[in-house]
Structure 1
Amino acid sequence: MTAPTNRGAGVTLRRTPENPAPRRGRDRRAEILHPPAGRPRFTGDAPRVAVVGGGIAGLAAATGLAERGARVTLYEREPTLGGRLAGWPVDLGDGSRVTMSRGFHAFFRQYYNLRGLLRRADGGLSMLTAVPDYPLQHSAGLRDSFARVPRTPPWSAAGFAALSPTFGWRDLARMDPRAALPLLDVRVPDVHTALDGVSAHDFLTAVRFPEAAHHLAFEVFSRSFFADPRELSAAELVLMFHIYFLGSSEGLLFDVPAEPFPQALWDPLAAYLTGHGVRLRTATPVEEVAPLGSGGHRITADGRTERFDATVLALDTPGLRALVSASPGVADPAWRDGVRRLRTAPPFLVSRLWLDRPVDRGRAGFLGTSGYGSLDNVSVLERWEGEAARWAARTGGSVVELHAYALDPGADRQVEQKRLLEQLHRVYPETADARITDQRHEWRADCPLFPVGTYGDRPGVRTQDPTLVVAGDLVRTDLPVALMERAATSGFLAANVLLQRWGVRGQTLWTVPRRGRSRAMRLLASLA
């Protein structure tokens, strides 16, 4: 087999199952992150590594290690893989067996490392399907669309402003361009130093974005962190602006799985991992991680104790806090204190409804909403998901999913579920005449919160123990990544840290450029 050259990056890589060729998408300025040099894989007696957590971060870490020959055991407390993208079977009242999950997730094209992980199971990513548009709708009647917005910066941001009904000439004239200059040259990790002490709400107020744009566009993005913009660090909001608008030419359109998460993503990836020798121990919560004097750890799970040469902690915020609390010997007191101070975002609600009649054909598969009480978005699942489409075709109905983020922790669940349904009737009036044949509601409060002034508390991939690393969307990576891509990237980075210690070459990664891509915009930003 020849070694094809990736001309844009100036590198030559041999494509093998252990070294899949990195791909960056359409953006010619995406950055390649080379791992340190090392031997291609372990030979002889390979180290034993425990990966604690079977979400995206843990699966990425297990993949990066197993492909190089490490002996990996992955522990997951739930019966299924996928973490916050897991799915599980439920039986409906009509006898149908379907898959329930925690709801819709968007797979953006700049999620290079997440998509690279999924390519292990399907090189062509045929499990994903494109969503043609991502409209945003305000209760006042304003509506935005990304279908016609250019993808290449700076025309992406200019095009959005020109096409959006929320940006009139008078509104633009009232904006404070000097306050907006940090958006033009986002440098990572410097953006956290500059803006972590400001809330997303206060930053947007200082810029004087039009009120409608503030609510319709930027608040939608901030709430994708499951947080109220008054509490969210402005650094995270500005980083998102860079990732999707001015730092990348991949654009704001995205893909979604064509079948439920287990069938499309995690079952095939599990088969790939077991083929590389990974032991998958689902329904097995880890009870304690105890450092060994000679290096490595003793892992206790489900009443059994095993010894490992290294450990990856790839847990959500509550899980990491609980395990660290139960493992008093892990790392040092300062690190443990930082973990203890980590916070979770307010609760969110996912309501999935099986209706006895279809939603109008012209409705978008996914709609972001603002001004409809707690309703943040509406999905019509049969527009893209095969399982929902088959149910809808068989029954003549529709499968609709409603999301509400950042709810009051003391909210009455029945009241909030009823309010979501009422707002659906406002957004899609035809659903008011539909009978709900079945419904499921998921209340969760386990997403990381990035409040003002807390960037320094977030753990990095490395710890003081060279055999203990951390991965997940809560982790500080100092790269322009967020949400699912932060989870996947941190998982590969955690694997690379351990591999480097053992003299083995790690995974090659891609990222959105780590600073503003336009020289003119960088010059303007220097005036701030």
Structure 2
Amino acid sequence: MGADRPVDVRDPLAESLAPAPASGPRPEETPRVAVVGGGIAGLAAACALAERDTDVVVYEREDTLGGRLRGWGTTLRDGSPATMTRGFHAFFRQYYNLRGLLRRADPALEGLVPLDDYPLVHRDGPRDRFSGLPPTPPWNAAVLAATSPSFPPRDLARVNVPAALQLLDVDVPGVYERLDHLSARDLLTAVRFPPRARHLAFEVFTRSFFADPGRLSAAELAVMFHLYFLGSSEGLVFDVPGSPFPQALWDPLERRLAKLGVRFRTGAPVEGVRPGRGRRFAVRCGPDGGPDAEFDGVVLAADPPGVRRLVAGSPDLGDPRWRDRLARLESAPPFLVSRYWLDRPVRPHRPAFLGTAGYPTLDNVSVLERYEDEARAWARRTGGSVVELHAYALPEDADPERERVRLWEQAAAVYPELGAAGVVDDRHELRADCPLFAPGSHRDRCGVATLDPFLVLAGDHVRTDLPVALMERAATSGLLAANALLARWGREGHTVWTVPRQGRSAPLRSLARWARHTPR
């Protein structure tokens, strides 16, 4: 990425982290690296390694790349080809490392289109918007509180100001030492935000981590607000892919990486990694995966269930404590994505994306033809709409059919015209493979480095000690993993960019610390 400020980094306080200097000699033979996992983290690592004269093979158990953002073809009942995915994802402007990765194949990011606003609506009626807010903290928070119907002055007077100030004193990793033992719900209860504001401005975001606030670390909540709102001046607007994920993101990136010499083995689940004979590691695929391939380095970039399986099948990797920590890596509760192709349009004023609060399970509603070209073409041809519903943090024993019905009923309460619509076709994805950032888990979370300097971890479950989250955590960890290997082979690493690693205002940080240590 280079030391120069990338075009995406508009915040003057954004920070760059130079890679560590080379710690090993440059080998005569080109190093070979296996990247296990073809999601964001794995692709970021593969790209960073390939750009530094490294021979890379990416193993992906699915037939397509992209991990949780992959897509696959399907045929609707009316004969139309369509691309199904695992649901809506927002590409925020402060996702510096992810956007830098995508720029490798799409320099102008033409595959992304902006969504300048995304309303948040409570079941009882109040609605908030993020358009028109000043981008720079703390003025964005002040204007939101002053103009939002969710922050009535009578209720704001009851806010616990010393507790609220802690959200302005986020430093990573110090915030984990102070708040990781609490749940997000504990922190919100202590702050005493107005109930509707709590739902709209906080719980909507905590559930974006696929977890109920009671099972999410308060430190993760604080870091999240720092990343998206209180620590970055990039604003809360975001972009979305203008085409299905494969066409907009991964097909171009795959072509770019192939030109760099990266080889892809899709549909190839890795069952284990063991010591090699000629090289340091041997990678074993499934029964039909052919003979073991040998490598000088390995990047484990699988999702939490994949990491647990792979480590269980690789008894020679790591020490008992490291293996135990990965074995106890928790997955977040199940989430459901339901997509419907309807025989009539939703009302024209419906936004592309609507966040919801106060409903039993409905978290958001997307109208895909508002931003995605494939859905738009289908809607124009048929006169219908393509609507997607998300339900996060479902019960562990959730019944798929019952949850689909409940989700549709809630969506019809939000958009009543859905009740009269006919369903041309529908697809549903119930998954439970996202990481859970539970209270108290940070100290036990594995980082990029391992006891073996040529074995590294990457993924959105990996501890980076930077203020990143979700897709940006995945991309950042991939870069850090690649840098760790490159340094060992005497190669220059890549600059990593991040929002400020502590609260933006020194006076406000001092005030928060004074409040924290003042007896009350």
1:415 correspondence with 2:402: yes
Q: CA deviation at 1:372?
A: 2.1
Q: Report deviation, 1:304.
A: 2.1
TM-score normalised to structure 2 length: 0.96
Counterpart of 2:372 (choices 381, 385, 395) is: 385
Q: Does 1:486 find its partner at 2:473? A: yes
Partner SS state of residue 488, structure 1: helix
Output the amino acid matched with 1:275.
K
What residue number does 2:110 align with? 126
Equivalent-residue separation in structure 2 for 1:117 and 1:42 (angstroms): 25
Q: Which residue of 2 aligns with 1:142?
A: 126
The equivalent position to 2:161 in structure 1, one of 177, 180, 187, is 177
Asked whether the equivalents of residues 461 and 476 of structure 1 are also in contact (C-alpha less than 8 Å), the reply is yes
Per-residue CA deviation, residues 322-369 of structure 1 (Å, 9 max, x unaligned), is: 000010110111000100111101100000000111011101100000
Do 2:279 and 2:294's aligned partners in 1 also have CA atoms closer than 8 Å?
A: no
In the TM superposition, residue 168 of structure 1 has moved relative to its aligned partner by 1.3
- Write out aligned runs for 1:430-445 (5 A): 430-445=417-432
Cα distance in structure 1, aligned partners of 2:26 and 2:59: 22
Partner residue in 2 for 1:90: 74
Aligned to 1:78: 62
Question: Which of residues 463, 466, 469 in structure 1 aligns to 2:450?
Answer: 463
Give the share of equivalent positions with the same residue, in percent.
Answer: 63
CA–CA separation in structure 2 for the residues paired with 1:125 and 1:179: 40
CA distance in 1 between counterparts of 2:143 and 2:461 reads 32
Q: Residues 365-415 of structure 1, C-alpha deviation per residue, up to 9 Å, x if partnerless?
A: 000001222000000000000000000000000000000001012122111
Distance 1:43 1:270 in 2: 27
Partners of 1:498 and 1:23 in 2: CA distance:
27
CA distance in 2, matches of 1:295, 1:469: 16
Secondary structure in structure 2 of the residue aligned to 1:51: strand
Work out the CA distance in 2 between the residues paired with 1:38 and 1:463.
18
Amino acid at match of 1:444: R
Deviations 1:19-78 (A, max 9, x none): xx7344321110011113459x97852100000000000000000000001000100000
TM-superposition CA deviations, 1:73-99 (whole Å, max 9, x none): 100000000000000000001110000
1:193 to 157, 161, 177: 177
Matches within 5 A, 1:286-301: 286-292=270-276, 296-301=280-285
Give the CA deviation at 1:488.
0.2
Q: What is aligned with 1:316?
A: 303
DSSP 3-state at the match of 2:214: coil
Whole-angstrom distance in 2 between the partners of 1:502 and 1:484: 28
**The residue matched to 1:113 in structure 2 has which SS?**
helix
- Tell me, in whole angstroms, the C-alpha distance in 2 between the residues paired with 1:471 and 1:291: 20
* 8 Å Cα contact 1:378-1:403 kept in structure 2: yes
Q: Aligned partners of 2:244, 2:402: CA distance in 1, in Å?
A: 28
Local SS of the residue matching 1:263: helix
| Structure 2 CA distance for partners of 1:465 and 1:143, relative to 1, 3 Å | same
In structure 2, the partner of 1:361 is 348
Q: 1:465 to 1:293 in 2, by over 3 A?
A: farther
Which amino acid in structure 2 is aligned with residue 377 of structure 1? N
Distance 1:12 1:84, change over 3 A: closer
Q: Tell me, in whole angstroms, the C-alpha distance in 2 between the residues paired with 1:54 and 1:167.
A: 43
What are the equivalent positions in structure 2 for 1:96-107 lying under 5 Å apart? 96-107=80-91
CA distance in 2, matches of 1:397, 1:217: 32
Residue pairs, 1:201-220, within 5 angstroms: 201-220=185-204
Tell me the alpha carbon deviations over residues 86-117 of structure 1, each in whole angstroms, 9 at most, x when there is no partner.
00000001110000000000000000000000
- Inter-CA distance 12–324: structure 2 relative to 1 (3 Å threshold): closer
**Structure 1 residue 303, shift from structure 2 partner:** 3.6
Residue 66 of structure 1, aligned match among 36, 45, 50: 50
Counterparts of 2:150 and 2:118, CA distance in 1: 16
Distance 1:186 1:294, change over 3 A: farther
C-alpha change, 1:236 and 1:293, in structure 2 (3 Å) is farther
Question: Is the 1:296–1:311 Cα contact (8 Å) retained in structure 2?
Answer: no
CA distance in 2, matches of 1:132, 1:380: 15
**What's the secondary structure of 2:429's corresponding residue?**
strand
Alignment partner of 1:241 is 2:228: no
Query: Is 2:3–2:18's contact at 8 Å kept on the other side of the alignment?
Result: no
Shift in Å, 1:425:
0.9
What is the CA-CA distance between 1:295 and the residue it aligns to? 6.8
Q: Determine the structure 2 residue equivalent to 1:16.
A: none
Q: Is the 8 A contact 2:448 2:463 kept in 1?
A: yes
Q: Which sections of structure 2, spanning at least 5 residues, go unmatched?
A: none
Q: 1:254 aligns with which of 235, 238, 258?
A: 238
Report what 2:13 is aligned to: 29
1:352 alignment counterpart:
339
Residues 176 and 219 of structure 2 are in contact (CA less than 8 Å); yes or no, is this contact kept in structure 1? yes
How well do the aligned residues superpose, as a CA RMSD in angstroms?
Answer: 1.6
Say if 2:479 is the partner of 1:495: no
Unaligned runs of 5+ in 1: 1-5, 14-20
Q: Within 1, Cα distance between the matches of 2:148 and 2:277?
A: 61
Q: Determine the structure 1 residue equivalent to 2:500.
A: 513
